[in-house]
Amino acid sequence: MKKVSVIIPMYNSEKFIGQCLDSVRRQTFQDLEILVMDDGSTDCGPEICKETARSDERIRLYRQENRGVSAARNQGMQMAVGDYLFFLDSDDMIHPALIEKLFWQAETQRADLVFCGYRKMDWKEFSAAAGADPGKNFRIRRQTAEGTETEIWFHRKYVNELSGIGGKLLRRTSVGSLRFDESLLNGEDTLFLYDFICRKIRAVYLQKAWYYYRIHPESVTQSSGMRKGKRYFESSRRIREREYQKGRVDFALTWERFCVRQIEQNYEMQRNAGNRAEYRSLRKTAAEERRHPMFERLLWSEKLLYYLCFFCYPVYVPVNRQIPRLLKWKEALVMRRKQAAIGILTFHCSNNFGAMLQAYGLKTFLRRNGKAAEIVRYEPIYMTGRHWWIPYAPIRGVRGRIWGLFHLWEGFCAHLRTREAFSRQRRNMNDFRYTCLVEKKQRKILSSLGLHRLKYAFYIVGSDQIWNPEITCGLRKAYFGAFRNLWKKKVISYAASFGSSNLPDKEESKFSKLIRYVDVISVREEAAVPYVERLSGKEVTAVLDPVFFLEKESWERVERIPKWTENRDYILLYVTEPNQVMTDYVKRLSQEMGLPVLEVCAGGQEKEVGFEIDYTAGPAELLGYIHKAAYVVSNSFHAVAFSILYEKQFLTFVHSHLGERVRNILKIHGLEERLCEEKEQSDIHAPIDWKTVRQKREEYVRVSGEFLLKNIEAH
């Protein structure tokens, strides 16, 4: 069985089909079947395909009577035997490495849909693109989404990229019996993708414009099909209506805009073609559209253009061509102010496993629940400087900052000694950061002054130790939402932490002033609740770390299994501070079980001789190590959290000054016996009733999720 079935519908494409097939034959991924579905062509296109098939046995030509592109694609899906379906139009072309990259992402990310951007080209650009180097080692950024977030992609974020089927790789088992609607003359692929995405699939977007869309007279449907009276707004209408019936008016509004614009284009084309019967019919359609409840939600400028089109056409033409942006800019600003967007202020910029994983858990949970949430790229030097090649890690006070400057050279020499490992770890950290957390195109903010211009309605500060002055070099206003902003409506702290149950006495006064800016307060450690209530005078809730919002299956989709783990059992040791008792225990466990020890260290911790050590792991690699480990031993909170999520035999040793949060999470799950304090040791082999553990966690997850969503929606 071939891995990928390439489906190419063709109708009178003799000018382009040869170049289209060549782009598929030149793919670096060769395990293909190429199905050309001829929809009753009357030119020499079929002969060109037959000639090409003689030199490439992967090409198969199927012919049918002219029944439209949907029927051709459906027939191709029926004939396909590959694990994946890839769609390509006969007048377009693809980059030589595209299918390989799509397939690799589908396999490693367990995705149902993988797609890239597209690029419009004329014939000169097509000739240049045909000679692209397939052997170049491309590094491609990707973004992943699943469930509700994939629907947000379709309706908002990547509405243009997901409006057509060309360049999409779909898992055939996920498609199942879904087919294109043959009654639609246009937009059938948009409706198909809508139905597919409504199945709560997992999707991956590759940030490369590697699908080449050819611009030529025959490709512009308005110039031919519209003159024949084809209606190009039916698919938008259907999607709009279904979203409206579901009560998702924000999504419905997207398709109302498409529908209105397409009706206008239809009307304009019929008038220019002199098709009086059709444009009179469209006037009736336009009148019906004005009565739909979603029409009233359009911007006044959009409604003005619509009325001009059907009642004052001579004025519509110049207004439509010259002034739309000038009409809309003010209302677009108003709409932006009204939207309930959510900005997350957390430690995403720190090269710390837990900080990045909790940020991903929080962002993903909100998006799955239909919230327009994103992580604010607040990346101050006191957080990012410690990860530079010439590191700057200031300590509080003027003396501490001077000390940090004097130790630049010492840090640089340390990084230079381990330059290859340091470079690879930075790359792994950034790969996770720019794939799962933020986008590079987002504006980076280096100081709290830049937060004044942001346009989020809600701010969530946390989770992690955002209120730990030892990490942030003093308590910082940004992590309390203590900045002036015209758009800001509410600040919510979620699972914020000091790292312990209280702050040093000298910090209490400043904390009391800053906490007033937080409208709704929650913390991660239950022991910290009375302390924060005393200083804030507000009700405080203890909630779970956001990594628990996602189940094991969701984390598996972002993990990366290192090659070292293949075909072997091992003990994973994750160290956040030196602990000789823990090290000695792991040595004895290794001897007892006859298993090697893999050590992953945080920051500059000392490495134990005799252990296999990974200096380069990022968050995705750490998840892979925990997933494949036979035993996990650590003094890290997040190593404990993921040992519970992955249901591993684990043991945790108390951290000298950050032990409270570990005790708290073990207490919640009824696993207190898994904690070793001082020389007291528990039994790592003792069986765990994971069913009971899951039941206890489910209740806390439900309460924590309701707390967050209720306070966002209550405003």
Domain presence at residue 194: yes
Q: Is residue 345 helix, strand or coil?
A: strand
pLDDT over 60 (residue 468): yes
For residues 262 and 221, the answer to whether their CB atoms sit within 8 Å is no
For residues 142 and 205, the answer to whether their CB atoms sit within 8 Å is yes
Domain presence at residue 688: yes
Q: Is residue 452 helix, strand or coil?
A: helix
pLDDT over 70 (residue 125): no
pLDDT over 70 (residue 200): yes
CATH value at residue 571:
3.40.50.2000
Domain presence at residue 445: yes
Same domain, yes or no: 215 and 232: no
Pick the range with the lowest mean pLDDT from 532-546, 615-629, 670-684: 670-684
Domain presence at residue 713: no
Structure-token pair, residue 415: 């990084």
pLDDT tens digit sequence for 341-387: 899 999 998 888 889 999 999 999 998 887 888 999 999 988 887 77
Same domain, yes or no: 526 and 598: no
Give the whole-angstrom CA distance, residue 241 versus residue 254: 11
Domain presence at residue 705: no
Which of 502, 526, 549 terminates a domain? The answer is 549
Same domain, yes or no: 357 and 320: no
**AA letter at 333:** L
Bridge partners of 493, per DSSP, are 461
The residue to which tokens 């016996």 are assigned: 673
Which of 193, 219, 245 terminates a domain? The answer is 219
Same domain, yes or no: 487 and 620: no
Residue 228 banded pLDDT, cuts 50, 70, 90: very low
Pick from 157, 74, 85, 79: which is nearest to 114 by CA? 85
> What are the E-state strand segments in 175-325?
202-214
* Mean predicted lDDT score pLDDT of the chain: 84
pLDDT attached to residue 405: 58
Same domain, yes or no: 313 and 442: no
Average pLDDT, stretch 627-650? 92
Domain presence at residue 708: no
What sign has the CA pseudo-torsion 699, 701, 707, 713? negative
CATH value at residue 152:
3.90.550.10
pLDDT attached to residue 84: 96
What's the domain range around 92?
A: 4-219
pLDDT attached to residue 499: 75
Domain presence at residue 470: yes
Give the whole-angstrom CA distance, residue 430 versus residue 412: 20
Average pLDDT, stretch 701-708? 92
CA angle at residue 513 from 508 to 515, to 5 degrees? Answer: 90
Helices (H), 485-560: 508-514, 529-536, 552-556
DSSP 11: S
Residue 412 banded pLDDT, cuts 50, 70, 90: low
Same domain, yes or no: 514 and 597: no
Give the whole-angstrom CA distance, residue 561 versus residue 210: 28
Peptide bond into 174 cis (omega under 30): no
pLDDT over 60 (residue 80): yes
- Tally of domains in the chain: 4
pLDDT attached to residue 99: 94
Which of 219, 247, 281 terminates a domain? The answer is 219
CATH value at residue 351:
3.40.50
Q: What is the DSSP string of 389-435?
A: SS-----SHHHHHHHHHHTHHHHHHHHHHTHHHHHHHHHHHHHHIII
Same domain, yes or no: 630 and 517: no
Give the whole-angstrom CA distance, residue 636 versus residue 28: 43
What sign has the CA pseudo-torsion 355, 361, 363, 366? negative
Same domain, yes or no: 155 and 247: no
Give the whole-angstrom CA distance, residue 157 versus residue 187: 19
Same domain, yes or no: 647 and 506: no
State the pTM of this model: 0.66
pLDDT attached to residue 423: 81
Average pLDDT, stretch 54-63? 92
Residue 657 banded pLDDT, cuts 50, 70, 90: low
More confident residue, 557 or 2: 557
pLDDT tens digit sequence for 239-289: 999 999 988 888 899 899 989 988 888 888 888 888 888 888 888 888 888
Domain presence at residue 385: yes
Q: Is residue 695 helix, strand or coil?
A: helix
Neighbours of 37 (CB within 10 A): 25
pLDDT over 90 (residue 323): no
Same domain, yes or no: 587 and 458: no
Same domain, yes or no: 165 and 266: no
pLDDT attached to residue 335: 46
For residues 624 and 562, the answer to whether their CB atoms sit within 8 Å is yes
pLDDT over 90 (residue 193): yes
pLDDT attached to residue 619: 92
Share of the chain above pLDDT 90, in %: 40
Structure-token pair, residue 485: 């902003």
**AA letter at 28:** T
Same domain, yes or no: 197 and 118: yes
